[in-house]
Amino acid sequence: MPEQFIKDLFRHNTKCFLGFPDKKASGEFIDDLFNFLFLPNGIRFKTETEVQKEFDELQKKFAELLKDVESEEGKAEMIARNFFMVIPEIYRQLIKDAEAILHFDPASESFEEVLVAYPGFFATAIYRLSHQLYKYKVQIIPRLFSEYAHSKTGIDIHPGAQIGHPFFIDHGTGIVIGETTIIGSNVKIYQGVTLGALNVAKELSKVKRHPTIEDNVIIYANATILGGETVVGRESIIGGNVWLTNSVPSSSLVFHKSEITVKDNIPEDQLGLNFVI
């Protein structure tokens, strides 16, 4: 192997020693935290003291994880302490999210089913936890958490997005919600929806690039809404396959109209037509 490459690789590894959190440990921690809050996986705490002990242990584990990106003495412990202090409020928000799913989805049969089987709820939970760390300006770890949820659910929510509650994702596969997206309360989003940017130039990194979705909006499957100045007014419905780059007023109905032709009793001389997809 070339000697210069080894030198370059060693220099890179030395430089990045501090600042690369453990990716595997990050995924294990966020799973453990989600399970502790919602899915104890067969663990039955006998006393409240046992619950408190597990909560404290998770806080210690998180502080250790933070030390990979926070070199300042005591800062990892401070962030972990502040983060765990707001978890009760995040938990209350997530219970409202789960209740909304149970209320609006006719296929959901129980609250427990929503917690254990709905990818939209898992992605929302990891988003809300990641968003709190994003507000603390923690490096890398919020993205590791959100990308872990992305890998498990196919739902990509940047931790910088601002999302009200309750929030309802149905099915969810293929949803993309960009960093500067603002979503109000009681919004419902279906699979394949993109809330993205019109321009992805690097110099726009500090500019609002993604749309604003106001309260009580429904966005159906595969709709694409782009642009930082695009606002979808409250109480609006955005139909499937819509491509939207302009604002729409409150109580709008936006839909994509396509023509579908159905033919039956096809003549025999047309049955052998060749076609290419």
Name the band, by pLDDT with cuts 50, 70 and 90, for residue 54: very high
Q: Quote the CA–CA distance of 113 and 10 in Å, as a whole number.
A: 49
Question: To the nearest whole number, what is the mean pLDDT of the chain?
Answer: 90
Stronger pLDDT, 273 or 6, i.e. the higher one: 6
Same-domain check for residues 120 and 182: no
Contacts of 259 (CB under 8 A, 6+ apart): none
CATH code, 59: 1.10.3130.10
Query: Starting from the edge strand earliest in sequence, which strands make up the sheet with 156-157, in order?
Result: 156-157, 176-177, 194-196, 224-226, 243-244
Provide the 3-class DSSP secondary structure of residue 277: coil
Same-domain check for residues 182 and 144: no
Task: Identify the pLDDT of residue 276.
Answer: 43
pLDDT at 269 over 70: no
Domain boundary among 127, 155, 183: 155
Tokens encoding 55: 């909560």
- Give me the helices (H) in 45-173, please: 48-66, 75-104, 111-117, 119-135, 141-153
CATH code, 183: 2.160.10.10
pTM of the model: 0.88
Same-domain check for residues 136 and 185: no
pLDDT tens by residue, 73-128: 899 999 999 999 999 999 999 999 999 999 999 999 999 999 999 999 999 999 99
In a domain, 104, yes or no: yes
Same-domain check for residues 110 and 219: no
In a domain, 5, yes or no: yes
Count of domains forming the chain: 2
- Residue span of the structural domain in which 65 resides: 1-155
Query: Can the peptide bond before residue 21 be classed as cis, meaning omega within 30 degrees of 0?
Result: no
In a domain, 235, yes or no: yes
Closest CA to 119 of 175, 176, 171: 171
